[in-house]
Amino acid sequence: MTYTLLIGDRSYSSWSLRGWLLFDAFGLPVKVRTCRLYSDDLPRALADFPPARTLPVMRTPDGVVVSDSLAIAEELASRQPRAGLWPSDPAARAVARSLAAEMHSGFPALRSHCAMNLRVSYSDCAPDRAVLADLARIETIWADARARTGAAGDWLCGAYSVADAFFAPVAARIAGHNLHVGPQAAAYVAAHLRHPSFRAWRAAALQDGPDQDIYRRDWPTRPWPGM
């Protein structure tokens, strides 16, 4: 038996990307179901996963429905302890959990102004002070995580973890909206763009249904970076 994961449009659903990465990046088997955001398809699909009302939502092999990406991460970590979703070192694990929790609840200006859209990259999105403040905080906690865990490779707390899966849509926003960050943060964004699971997700996103007009922005565009 395997897990089932319900996700929204791959181009736009940042929460769905996080949920899917928890499986694909860690080699966990999953059957994926998709539904269209802002359509009648969404409530119909969610009706098969009661009482969930948001995406992503997971059904475990024994039939338990788990909604919310952070809850999914913790449940998978409990059920699949050898998958390495969290760092094995207790101190690094604490840092990673703190990062994931702040991402889960924070950065409202960045989320609002720079909605994830993997089908387009903008050369200028005119970020306001609130967006720039969110970016500054993101750079601060990324650098702090590396310093506290001694991470020297691509990822924040050593090996790729839930914390990195949760920040993948942030990396997509930074890249897709041409937001300026320092060299260390830019290298971390680039690592996400070349990660095999992220590339597979974006390739699938480009084959999904037609554009969603709600995500359209009248900003100058450029080629998607890192390709």
Mean pLDDT of the chain: 96
Question: What is the Rg, in whole angstroms, of the alpha carbon atoms belonging to the chain?
Answer: 17
pTM for the full model?
Answer: 0.96
* 3-83 matches 90-205 in fold: no
pLDDT at 175 over 80: yes
90-205, which class in CATH?
A: mainly alpha
pLDDT at 49 over 80: yes
> Mean per-residue pLDDT for 47-69?
97
pLDDT at 178 over 70: yes
Q: Which of 141, 130, 202 is closest to 172 using CA atoms? A: 202
Give tens-digit pLDDT for 61-81. 999 999 999 999 999 999 999
CATH number of 3-83: 3.40.30.10
Distance CA 161, CA 152 (A): 14
Task: Give the residue extent of every domain in the chain.
Answer: 3-83, 90-205
Give tens-digit pLDDT for 105-130. 999 999 999 999 999 999 999 999 99
pLDDT at res. 209: 80
